[in-house]
């Protein structure tokens, strides 16, 4: 099996800019933070009580990833994909950033057309 190529700085920055633009335009999936199996535990662990604070943190993580896209990028595992049918044909982009205030690494991913 061939190893996927590492995306370039330019490609990663372009994806992160597109993610920011999507946020700015309100183009992200609404979730019920009380029942979502990922977001509710994440919010509790991070001490967040409002969903708006969660989305602000996600946006901040995108900004942090843009500071060093090559080192924050996490290649997707070929065996992993989303179970959300509405985005199953899109590429998943994953990043991990060291959050300066929370003093911990935070992982985020988003779906994007190639």
2, part of any domain = no
Pairwise pLDDT comparison (51 vs 10), residue with the higher score: 10
Tell whether the model's pLDDT for residue 98 goes beyond 80.
yes
Count of Cβ atoms closer than 10 Å to residue 1 Cβ: 4
72, part of any domain = yes
How high is the pLDDT of residue 76? Answer: 67
Q: Is the pTM of this model over 0.85?
A: no
43, part of any domain = yes
How high is the pLDDT of residue 21? Answer: 94
How high is the pLDDT of residue 28? Answer: 75
4, part of any domain = no
pLDDT range class, residue 114, cuts 50, 70, 90: low
71, part of any domain = yes
Write the pLDDT tens digit of every residue in 26-37: 887 766 666 667
SS3 call for 17: helix
Rg (CA), the chain: 14
Range of the domain at 83: 9-112
Q: How many domains does the chain have?
A: 1
32, part of any domain = yes
1, part of any domain = no
Closest residue by Cα to residue 114 from 94, 93, 95 = 93
55, part of any domain = yes
How high is the pLDDT of residue 79? Answer: 43
How high is the pLDDT of residue 91? Answer: 77
Write the pLDDT tens digit of every residue in 8-26: 999 999 999 999 998 899 8
């Amino acid at each position: 099996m061939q190893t996927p190529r590492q995306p370039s700085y330019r490609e990663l920055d372009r994806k992160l800019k597109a993610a920011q633009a999507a946020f700015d335009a309100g183009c992200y999936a609404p979730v019920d933070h009380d029942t979502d199996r990922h977001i509710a535990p994440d919010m509790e662990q991070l001490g967040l009580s409002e969903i708006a604070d969660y989305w602000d943190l996600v946006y901040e993580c995108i900004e942090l990833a843009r500071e060093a896209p090559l080192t924050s990028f996490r290649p997707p595992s070929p065996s992993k994909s989303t179970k959300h049918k509405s985005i199953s044909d899109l590429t998943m982009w994953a990043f991990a950033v060291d959050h300066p205030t929370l003093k911990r690494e935070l992982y985020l991913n988003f779906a994007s057309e190639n």
